Structure 1
Amino acid sequence: MSVFHGQADLGGTGNGPPVSRQEFDELFEAVRTWGRWAPADRGAWNRVTPDHVRRATARVRSGTVVPLALPWNTRSGPDNRKPALHHMTDLGDVEAPEPSTHKDFIAADYHGKGITHLDALCHVAYRGQLYDDRTASEVVDAAGARFGAVSALGPLVTTGVLLDLPTVLGIGWLEPGQAVHAKDIIAAEKALDVTIGEGDAVLLRSGHVRRRRELGAWDPDTASAGFHVDAVPLLAERGIALLGGDGDSDVRPSPVDGVHSPVHALAMTAMGVPLLDNLDLEALSAATAEAGRYEFLLVVAPLNIPGGTGSPVNPVAVL
């Protein structure tokens, strides 16, 4: 079902076409999966069965392991307004008994642009509702979430698919504000000889990390490459279990009137698909290009935080 009237070319720099709130709401209804699974707060992760895991592990050939997380970011900047904390609590200066120890403390307000993290289903509500028609105000309070928490997800082991758009286009990166559409996904699948399947994790490389390293930081809340909402019906049709990227999956500025993170709302709130934000996909881009294949085993193990809205993570791809 399409509710859109046109598409911009990926070769351009636009975040359009613009989408009205009515069109967005129609799309939300078209892709939602409320009532489909039990337990509901695992959402689309219910698609990943033991058979999916076995098929994913069978993709390992070289045994090359690629970590996908950014370094723990303690420096303030335009893309890290709430820096993570890291300080030493023990410098090994106790005289006795042996051995001496060294200890440290870490903390992070990780829902932002500076920390690689997983968004759980309780993280995003639309019109006051979480996934599976749960009223946010009734299940989330100061103690945490009683539905859709990251502790309900547990580890995910599945097939990962890298949509490496800069490699497809022969460029260093997509410019901030550049939208990726459904037709671009299909073109990338053909160019990379890969097909997104049920239960897969889809990772979008826009080249965000490379651009930042070469040109410096900017405010990705204002402008970042990512999916246009017209790409979501295709991802829903393929039955994905997880969506992530080197941004936060949304193109910014948002093309949807009055909705600042429309892909977040469609993926998590409508479809029950958790998100991976702020990945470093540069090493994976190089490894997949060298291997000549863009499918791999993906392992995501969030911290077991009862009531948590997500977790810092260091996902691992194994080729």
Structure 2
Amino acid sequence: TENIPPMATRGVLLDMVKLTRKNPVPAGTAFNKAEIDAAAKAAGVTIGKGDVVLFHTGYQALATKDPAKFIAQQPGLGKGGAEYLAGLGVVAIGADTAALEVIPFETKTEAFPVHQILLAKNGVHILENINTAELARDGATEFLFVLGQPRFKGAVQMVVNPVAIR
């Protein structure tokens, strides 16, 4: 984590619960370009270079109700969605899920392909288990996203405390 810069940038919330009218969004639901564009349009936002994009799925409620299911399967970002957002130049993508990406994976031959597309190939940071419920409840779609994380040499993940200022 010593190479991750602090972030102070525009945040965008895509409320997938509102878009799908399902709370939580069912496990296995992939968010690709069409879903991302529809959610952005519904929110009245345009995603741009330097943004942090957060997905609200309602799935975090399962972390205490059914932790095994919360870890084993989830809605999330698909490969096409990851490539699309990386192409827009976003700096980080997060969700209220354990792994950000859709599980089960879209293809059975790849493990965590979205992580590979985002972090390894494009340098886009991944934010997991982000509490998006308050933002969604308040209808916040744009905000100042601030993140200053501990910088430990050799660490590959870290507990962080992001702040959304509306």
- Which ranges of structure 2 fall in alignment gaps of 5 or more residues? none
Percent identical residues: 30
Aligned to 2:141: 294
Asked if 1 retains the 8 angstrom alpha-carbon contact of 2:51 and 2:92, the reply is: yes
Distance, in Å, in 2 between the alignment partners of 1:207 and 1:218 is: 16
Deviations 1:27-68 (A, max 9, x none): xxxxxxxxxxxxxxxxxxxxxxxxxxxxxxxxxxxxxxxxxx
1:265 aligns with 2:116: yes
Q: Amino acid of the residue matched to residue 259 of structure 1?
A: E
1:156-235 equivalence runs, <5 A: 156-212=7-63, 215-235=65-85
Q: CA deviation at 1:211?
A: 4.4
Contact 1:223 1:253 in 2 (8 A): yes
Verify the 8 A CA contact 1:242 1:274 in the aligned structure 2.
yes
Give the Å deviation of 1:221. 4.1
Give 1:244's aligned residue: 94
Provide, for residues 166-186 of structure 1, a one-character-per-residue CA deviation record: whole Å limited to 9, x for no partner: 022333220112211210000
Give the secondary-structure state (helix, strand or coil) at the position aligned to 2:164.
Answer: strand
Corresponding position: 1:307 with 2:138: no
Aligned residue in 1 for 2:136: 285
Name the CA shift for 1:211/1:221 in 2 (closer, same or farther; >3 Å). Answer: closer
Q: Distance in 1 between matches of 2:148 and 2:76?
A: 24
Amino acid at match of 1:273: V
- Aligned residues: CA RMSD: 1.6
Q: Give distance in 1, aligned partners of 2:3 and 2:62.
A: 35
Do the aligned partners of 1:172 and 1:210 also contact (CA within 8 Å) in 2? no
- Deviation (angstroms), 1:308: 1.6
Amino acid at match of 2:159: P
Indicate the structure with greater helix content. 2
TM-score, normalisation: structure 1: 0.49
Q: Does the CA-based 8 Å contact 1:168-1:192 persist in structure 2?
A: no
What code does the residue aligned with 1:285 have? Answer: A
Report if the CA contact (8 A) 2:60-2:70 is conserved. Answer: no
Structure exhibiting the larger radius of gyration computed from Cα positions = 1
- The secondary structure found in structure 2 opposite 1:153 is coil
How far off is 1:200 after superposition?
0.3
Letter in 2 for 1:181: N
Runs of 5+ consecutive residues of structure 1 not aligned to the other structure: 1-149
Distance 2:154 2:80 in 1: 32
Runs (4 or more) in structure 1 with deviation over 4 Å come to none
Contact 2:86 2:124 in 1 (8 A): no
Shift of 1:223: 1.1
- Rounded to whole Å, the distance in 2 between the matches of 1:171 and 1:255 is 20
Q: Structure 1: how far apart are the matches of 2:7 and 2:25?
A: 29
Instruction: Supply the distance in 1 between the matched residues of 2:80 and 2:119 (Cα, whole angstroms).
Output: 16
